[in-house]
Chain A
Amino acid sequence: MTKKNSIKPTDWHSPEMTARIKTRYRKEKNFHRIGVIAITIAVSFLIILLGKISYDGVSGFFQTRIDTKITFSQSIIGVPSTMDKTAFQDQLKRVNFTRVLAASLQNEFPDVNSRSDRRRLLRIYSIGAREQIRLAISADPSLIGQTVILPLYAADDIDQVFKGNIDTSVPEANRRVKDKELSWLQTLIDDGRVYQKFHTRFFTAGDWNGRVYCRCAKQHNRSCDRPPRTNFLMADSPERAFLEKTSAAIMVLLMFLVAMNGLAIWLRQKFE
């Protein structure tokens, strides 16, 4: 037996009902919007992360080179070209190619006289430049006594300056790259001898920067295996080169990971 119905039949078009339904639809829209905002936030985090690393790292794939006239002076190298091949390579290991570079630079910049200035001039070139000179003469011993133009690697600081990552308007005392070095660099740039090249050695060989970073870290009495956490108020701290190279390395790693991810997704869809 049904109970007595004391409830009125529902008026689906009363003003209260209409207002209520309107509110519910509005809540629906808001809920929908929150969802869109959420995935937008998540995806933009990803974009910012990848974007910032790519932005910092892209220039790391390029290395500044300076075309320099190198004289393979017999007296400095001190090894006759007539020697037997293995003995020649052996002897070559004991040659100090920094002196070769220094002598060649003396010819280029004759008015650089003081000891400290000449050291500064040398510092425009990377450690790798010595290796390049050694490799050139090792591949072709007949170069002894001759003068050749080699595309030598620029030092990290110079590399960063040329890429425009360092603020040169900061007073000299707060910079690592001093005015003198900048003027020499400018001379070389005006001569058209400074340019950027794709750094294939980044992929094939270890980078000099690991050693550079370690060296500068030891200078600051920090451990080599911890990344820099000090402030970046110095416009051109050595960390700038580290930042660029590390970002480039991370880019390579991430490209590999994304490729693997993509492969996994494709495989999963193929076998579904």
Chain B
Amino acid sequence: MNETIPTCRVTGHITLDDQDIYDPTLDVVRLRARVGMVFQKPNPFPKSIYDNIAYGPRIHGLASHSTELDEIVANSLDRAGLWSEVKDRLDDAGTALSGGQQQRLCIARAIAVDPEVILMDEPCSALDPIATAKVEALIEDLKGRYAIAIVTHSMQQAARISQKTAFFHLGDLIEIGETKQIFTSPKEEKTRDYITGRFG
């Protein structure tokens, strides 16, 4: 998605299953379906809840008939923990939900195309604490099935819900390791300074 930002510059390699994702011969459309993304501010389409979830499967032709599509939608909503809340109003606009519900809708939307990895860009920063708790619980549920990478500015959140943590500073990767190790005995000095609150 970085090509939509004109001033973005990337050095080094990022690989998914040993394939460089910036390889020009790589099909971006497939990649983006395999790597789902959830944005900082919830951005449901101004369509019905059903159509929001069904959008991805429809464009990729993942369902050969409508009952299959119904099943995919129901599954995704269920996995995102929204099914019980919206199952009676699937035709309502996606934008009519509360902030926390919208974010879970976006997560359900990303799940609907059966990704392998889900990227989340500060998924809870626009939410109140109760919604945050719900989303964090959801992430805990999902981690059994998908590889999830979260960007967060909250160290507490990182410590709460992650198994591995990477610390970036001004565009450089400083340290990466097991969460417990990063937070109790970081190897790099910058990491230590950040964790103890000397800056940031």
Contacts and interface: CB of A to CB of B under 8 A. Distances in A.
Direct contact of A and B (CB under 8 A): yes
Interface of A: 2-3, 5-7, 9-10, 12, 16-17, 20-21, 24-25
A9 B74 CA distance: 16
A3 B29 CA distance: 28
B128 interface: no
Contacts of B113: 10
B78 A17 contact: no
Given A7-B68, A10-B114, A21 B75 contact: no
Contacts of B62: 7, 10
B61 A3 contact: no
Contacts of A25: 29
Nearest to A19: B61
A24 B75 contact: no
B27 interface: yes
Nearest to B75: A3
B30 A12 contact: yes
Nearest to A12: B30
A20 B75 contact: no
B139 to A, nearest CB: 15
Contact of B74 (A3, A10, A20): A3
A24 B68 contact: no
A61 B83 CA distance: 78
B79 interface: yes
Given A2-B79, A12-B30, A20 B68 contact: no
Interface of B: 27, 29-30, 33-34, 59-62, 68, 71-72, 74-75, 78-79, 113-114
Q: Nearest 3 CB-CB pairs, A to B?
A: A10-B114, A12-B30, A20-B61
A3 B60 contact: no
Given A12-B33, A24-B59, 18 more contacts: A2-B78, A6-B71, A7-B62, A7-B68, A7-B71, A7-B72, A7-B114, A10-B33, A10-B62, A10-B113, A10-B114, A12-B30, A12-B34, A16-B61, A17-B61, A21-B27, A24-B29, A25-B29
A24 B74 CA distance: 27
Contact of B30 (A3, A5, A7, A21): A21
A2 B108 CA distance: 13
Contact of B114 (A6, A9, A21): A9
Contacts of B29: 21, 24-25
B118 to A, nearest CB: 15
Contacts of B60: 10, 17, 20
A190 to B, nearest CB: 68
A9 B68 CA distance: 13
A105 B75 CA distance: 102
Nearest to B33: A12
B196 to A, nearest CB: 41
Nearest to B29: A21
Contacts of A24: 29, 59
Contacts of A9: 114
B61 A7 contact: no
